[in-house]
Amino acid sequence: MPQKNETKVFSGASKYVLDDELANIVNISMALEMPLLLKGEPGTGKTMLAHAVAEALHMKLIVLNVKSSMKLIDALYQYDTLTRLNDSRFGDSKRDVSNIEEYIRMGKIGQSFVSEERVVLLIDEIDKADTDFQDDMLDVLDQMEFDIIEIDKTIRAKYRPVIVITSNAKKDLSDPFLGRCNFHHIAFPEPDMMRRIVQVHFPEIEKELLESAVRTFYRLREIKGIEKKPATRELINWIRALRADPDIRTKDLIKGEVPYLGVLFKKSPDYVVAQNAVCMEQRA
């Protein structure tokens, strides 16, 4: 495998606020050529990180969305028998029917291996797949090669992709898996960090609105008995909703009103609990 010495260093992207810690970890993982496993509350930007890395380093991003029923082979390649049969019956395609290779299609991992330039490979929500999938996949990523059985050919990665893996699971992944990754847990951002994140998404935002929205948001996260606390994603969407509605005044927010509560609380029991809490607060 030709080694291209990447001197690229990741330091943030246009829509992603990066703390120094995470930037450091991303850079170390890239240099050590190890996958980076990210865990953290949903909506804290695990997936976004891969997008940001790709954007900042001007690399193509290939996303493998893991599904529970997925087999490793699906992520590597597919042998399209149906098209081949079709071609052999009707013979009107340019493909050579006797050449099986023309009917092999690369899966997401395969694509990242055969790519002519270094890419970012995001493996999203690895915890959905079973343990075997996870371990086998890491074997492939470790070796940077896999075999296509049908044509007895080994595909080797031209450039080792930058690999980001995300997991929502509360449980830990298997030891062999963890052993081959670098690990980072994205903590929920502090209010200061959150203000910066919001500003990146809404550079024009009025200071007052920003302040009161962030304050309201952290207050709402404190409500007890909530199953799914609102996260960064919800806050961004909520502010978008607030700004889109011309009738909403920042003063109301300061008074304790919370419009568009449903953007923040998406589960109906949570919504009811939050609504009650907001009403209680206003009365008090």
In whole angstroms, how close is the CB of 272 to another protein at the nearest point? 11
Q: Are 122 and 164 in contact (CB under 8 A)?
A: yes
CA distance to 56, 187, 227, per residue, from 183 (Å): 21, 13, 26
DSSP for 221-246, please give it: HT-TT-SS---HHHHHHHHHHHHH-T
In the complex, which residues of this chain contact another protein (CB under 8 A)? Answer: 20-21, 24-25, 27-29, 31-32, 34, 36-37, 39, 68, 81-82, 85-86, 129-132, 170-172, 174-175, 178-179, 181-185, 225
Query: Does residue 119 contact residue 159 with C-beta atoms inside 8 Å?
Result: yes
Task: Kindly tell me which of 141 and 209 has the beta carbon lying closer to another protein.
Answer: 141
Distance CA 141, CA 160 (A): 9
**Smallest Cα–Cα separation from 72: which of 28, 36, 108, 115?**
108
**Cβ of residue 243: shortest distance to another protein, in angstroms?**
34
Nearer to another protein, 93 or 174 (CB): 174
Name the residue type at position 133. F
Cβ closer to another protein: 27 or 250? 27
**Closer by beta carbon to another protein, 38 or else 140:** 38
- CB nearer to another protein: pick between 36 and 197: 36
How does DSSP classify residue 98? T
Q: Which two structure tokens, joined as six digits, stand for 173? A: 């992944």
Please report how close the Cβ of residue 91 comes to another protein at its closest, in angstroms: 15
Instruction: Report, in Å, the least distance between residue 39 CB and another protein.
Output: 6
